[in-house]
Structure 1
Amino acid sequence: MKKELKQLARQRIDERLVALKPEDRFAPPPKGWIRAIRDALGMTGVQLAARMKVRPQTVEALEKSEVSGSIQISSLRRAAEALDCTLVYVLVPKKSLEEAVNERARKIAIRELGRVAHTMKLEAQETGDTSTEKRIESYIRTVLNDRDLWNEK
């Protein structure tokens, strides 16, 4: 039952994130979002600093840190609020979470079953007609659980 709940949770997250694909649509402008929105609004750095209740040099440092990727989320949130924006923070998986779990499980199953098959072959106890694909699916279903997938081996 627990396995099904995790699968359902992954599917729900995948459904929510599909609207964000392709994620390159959200690449920041060359000077960063703070500067781009501030400029588009016609707001100076001094005006933004006043709205944020910081010194103008702080706004300049924030804009530079955003471009370099070192800005803190809390600082970005404060700048967004001062620009009357909402900060949206999200991790967008490169493939669906369900695909990631299935690929990882399959990789582990193939590796583990390969070891077993090799040992059995050495002992002249090769498996019969059971298809490899069925053995992989059975191994994933009966042996692996989600937590096992992410232990590096």
Structure 2
Amino acid sequence: MSNRTELAAVARRRLDQRFAALDLAALSPRPPRGWVRAIRDALGLTVRQFGARLGKSHSTVVALEQGEVAGTLTLAGLQKAAEALDCTLHYVLVPNRPLAAMVRDRARAVAEARLAPIDHTMRLENQGLSDADLAAELDRLTEDYARRGGRRLWDAL
């Protein structure tokens, strides 16, 4: 296994551990009017007062809050809003399932795609593997591809 592959595997394990430790229930879903508005309201700040802290106009603050809800607010804008609210912005992409599982599933798909035409040809020549041998070879290839990982794993099939 190459050094790059080993580093990627270590990074996957560490990220999976960090994601597993997150309390996603406390973070989701985003409040209906967005985090900026929720915190501003909880602090009792008016749009005008918040705008003064941001150094922005009333209409800009309204657009900022609407932009968060619409998903068009930039990270830079959200960072400035967080600072004006005396908050810390935490930006994180949370995978829907462990990264290791994503790599293993992709390795399985690659193994299936590469093994299928070979198996088909061998069966046409009456040299096909038994179902058990085919399953064992598929498992072996999957583990090999998952272990090696790398960029080629994600090329189109």
User: Does structure 2 retain, via aligned residues, the 8 Å contact 1:77–1:87?
Assistant: yes
User: Does structure 2 retain, via aligned residues, the 8 Å contact 1:49–1:56?
Assistant: yes
TM-score normalized by the length of structure 1: 0.89
Deviations 1:108-134 (A, max 9, x none): 112211211001111222236862333
User: Does structure 1 retain, via aligned residues, the 8 Å contact 2:119–2:128?
Assistant: yes
18 and 142 in structure 1: CA distance in 2 versus 1, 3 angstrom threshold: closer
Question: What is aligned with 2:152?
Answer: 148
Deviations 1:9-57 (A, max 9, x none): 1010000111225468422111111111000001111111111111111
1:114 aligns with 2:112: no
Cα distance in 1 between the residues matched to 2:131 and 2:151: 31
Question: What is aligned with 2:34?
Answer: 32
67 and 142 in structure 1: CA distance in 2 versus 1, 3 angstrom threshold: closer
Letter in 2 for 1:57: S
Letter in 1 for 2:114: E
Question: 1:107, CA displacement in angstroms?
Answer: 1.5
Question: What is aligned with 2:90?
Answer: 88
- Out of 57, 61, 64, the residue aligned to residue 59 of structure 1 is 61
TM-score normalized by the length of structure 2: 0.87
Show structure 1 runs of 4+ deviating over 3 A.
Answer: 21-25, 127-130, 140-145
- Out of 78, 81, 86, the residue aligned to residue 80 of structure 2 is 78
Cα distance in 2 between the residues matched to 1:45 and 1:51: 10
C-alpha RMSD of matched pairs (Å): 2.0
Percent of aligned pairs sharing the same letter: 43
109 and 15 in structure 1: CA distance in 2 versus 1, 3 angstrom threshold: same
User: Does structure 2 retain, via aligned residues, the 8 Å contact 1:80–1:87?
Assistant: yes
Cα distance in 1 between the residues matched to 2:124 and 2:82: 64
Structure 1: tracts of 5 or more residues without a match = none
Aligned length: 153
Cα distance in 1 between the residues matched to 2:118 and 2:23: 40
* Secondary structure, aligned partner of 2:121: helix
Letter in 1 for 2:71: G
